[in-house]
Structure 1
Amino acid sequence: MHLDHSHPHAPAEAGADARRPDGRRRALRIGLGGPVGSGKTATVAALCRELRDEFALAVVTNDIYTREDAEFLLREAVLPPERIAAVETGACPHTAIRDDISANLEAVEDLEDAVGPLDLVLVESGGDNLTATFSKGLVDAQVFVIDVAGGDDIPRKGGPGVTTADLLVVNKTDLAPHVGSDLARMAADAKAQRAELPVVFQSLRADSGVRDVAAWVRDRLAAWTA
């Protein structure tokens, strides 16, 4: 179940220089944020499996004091180890993706230097709240992941993550009957908050899995490289 997101996408707005010092176009950077436990890392893993044979990609994860998300991706072997980097923020997750992005920028640039040229870098935020957003100096597009177990009132509550992200993902739809979440209500509330911005409802346990999010990423990559 997902809202229509077939309208044409404008080219991704870049907050930083879109080209490397040698003149080559740098990788498209897509940030994934959302509350703790919403399924950000699982979505990143699924995207890697879906896209790794089509594009050259890498991942930067953020945790406050650990490398847990990066270690999960390494255990799952979603990409070669040299394509996964971890940032330990040491502070609130939004600090490293919005306020002081230097550690993440360095990690992204180091990956491009080490294993590039790359088409795509996924930057996963640590678990945060509904105000989490990425600096446009760090990423070119933002995905915000929520899940139905967090309550079907989350889209109605809004917040910058829900209302302004380039893509809103409502994850774990398979749990809706078990936690009393009304998917139709969530879809209506998301539409009211986001107008024409796209929304995807997904269950990574379903056959469709991450397909709709992967299609959105392909659209962004096509616009980026056009």
Structure 2
Amino acid sequence: MHLDHDTMPPHHHTPSAEALHPDGSRRALRIGLGGPVGSGKTATVAALCRALRDRLSIAVVTNDIYTREDAEFLLREAVLPPERITAVETGACPHTAIRDDISANLEAVEELEESLPPLDLILIESGGDNLTATFSKGLVDHQVFVIDVSSGDDIPRKGGPGITTADLLVVNKTDLAPYVGADLATMASDADRQRGKLPVVFTSLTSDDGIQPVADWVDGCLAAWRTEAAV
């Protein structure tokens, strides 16, 4: 299920992060995934890696406050070789490391690009945060915000920068809707009002093709990134 929007990345988005390496080559596209605790960010990252790894060179940076739990989950699931997954321990509210002081994440990204050239895509997962979590445009080129139906069907209506401004909003765990009394049509309508023309997709990662709408959006971002490089 997805809203009837164009799921290509918005044309007005212009990342402030330097797009080229010192040698003039195009760096990897960076996509950040944020959202509340338990919304399914890590599961979304894992599913994206499985869907894209056979045709793209991918790496992942995870963020946790005091642990490396998310990275360890991805390693256990073997979604990528171990050298392609690294973790940042933020030591503070997760949003600080993705929005305010991005130095630790930038260092992790640069180390991955140096050790694994050439990369097509780097996924940067925030630690669990609230509806205000946003990524610095100095860190990522596009932001995905993940919420889930079990937190209540009023979440899109509550808004917040993550919901209203992310390049893609993912409403996850739609398979739980009948059990938690969530009205998906209401969530879709509220998300539409909050986001205007920005895309929204509904996902259930329990189905084999549940990640496909997100993977298709990532493919669109990569196509635009490569087109810019060729100009």
TM range (shorter): over 0.9
Q: Match for 1:186: what amino acid?
A: M
Quote the Cα distance in structure 1 between the aligned partners of 2:127 and 2:220: 25
Q: Match for 2:224: what amino acid?
A: A
**Is the aligned partner of 1:148 residue 2:152?**
no
Shift of 1:4: 2.2
Q: Match for 1:80: what amino acid?
A: P
Residue matched to 1:118: 119
| Equivalent residues of 1:11, 1:220 under 8 A apart | no
Residue matched to 2:80: 79
- Please list, as runs of the form range in 1=range in 2, the aligned pairs for 1:189-204 lying within 5 A after superposition: 189-204=190-205
Tell me the SS of whatever aligns to 1:121.
strand
Residues paired across the two proteins, number: 226
Write the deviation string for residues 114-161 of structure 1: whole angstroms up to 9, x where unpaired: 011101000000000000000000000000000000100000000000
Write the deviation string for residues 166-192 of structure 1: whole angstroms up to 9, x where unpaired: 000000000000000000000000000
Residue matched to 1:3: 3
Shift of 1:6: 3.0
Once the two structures are aligned, what percentage of the paired residues are identical?
A: 77
Tell me the SS of whatever aligns to 2:164.
helix
In the superposition, the TM-score normalised over structure 2's length comes to: 0.96
Residue matched to 2:172: 171
Residue matched to 1:30: 31
| Equivalent residues of 2:60, 2:84 under 8 A apart | yes
Shift of 1:8: 4.9
In the superposition, the TM-score normalised over structure 1's length comes to: 0.98
Q: Match for 2:139: what amino acid?
A: L
Shift of 1:12: 5.2
**Is the aligned partner of 1:135 residue 2:136?**
yes
Quote the Cα distance in structure 2 between the aligned partners of 1:59 and 1:151: 29
Change (3 A) 1:7 1:84: closer
